[in-house]
Structure 1
Amino acid sequence: MKDDDAGNDGKTERSKQAQLSIALKRDTSGKTKVIAKGSGELAEQILQIAFDQGVKVRADSDLAEILTTVDVESEIPLEALTAVATILNYVYSEQKFPNDESTPRHDIIY
């Protein structure tokens, strides 16, 4: 769409797409589950809660798209396990050994 088309409010194509947010949590047995998910306004609320709580946030739209098919309180699917494990490893290492207090601390996938 051109910038001068009627109805264009100046937003990019990416910002016009519905935002997705998926919250994950590893339980005591080591299983990773989806604990919250949403799109649009709900996705923004999930992100705001994460930021307010100092939860790590990671942008990965492909993984978020895969995880939208997982029911809340369900384990993540095998095909997403490697990507999620990599992200969670990073998140947990940052929480255990933060390298810079000025770096924003974030943990949701969107």
Structure 2
Amino acid sequence: MSQSSPSDNKRKQAVALKYQAGTMEAPKVVAKGKGYVAENMLKTAKEHQIPVQEDPSLVEVLGKLDLNQQIPPELYQVVAEILAFVYRLDKGGAGNG
């Protein structure tokens, strides 16, 4: 997920989530960064074909969480929608597994 606002003074932000169904109660923040770090996170995600969902409001909220912190219940619905998006991409691109 990323946020960019070149017209104002905000720097690009990125937050990475991890979720393993059956082993984790809720997704957790595993990486986050701003500026150069965010750009590198997005570049690495692209290189490894990791889906990126852009939602500036969500990134702002998730960016306030600590690393390894589970997302709060009030974000379950929106993060579930993102996970469904990723799942659909994985199913559509599956074939080499």
Scaled by the length of structure 2, the TM-score of the pair is 0.81
Structure-1 residue corresponding to 2:59: 64
Secondary structure in 1 aligned to 2:15?
strand
What amino acid maps onto 2:7 in structure 1? Answer: E
Q: Output the TM-score relative to the length of structure 1.
A: 0.72
Q: Structure 1 runs of 4+ off > 3 angstroms?
A: none
CA displacement 1:51-101 (0-9 Å, x = unmatched): 0100000110000001011111111112211111101111112112239xx
For the 8 Å contact 1:37–1:68, the answer to whether it is kept is: yes
Q: Does 1:20 align with 2:13?
A: yes
Unaligned runs of 5+ in 2: none
Percent of residue pairs identical: 33
Moved more, 36-45 or 73-82: 73-82
Higher RCO (CA 8 Å, separation ≥ 6 residues): 1
Question: What is the root-mean-square deviation in Å for CA atoms of aligned residues?
Answer: 2.0
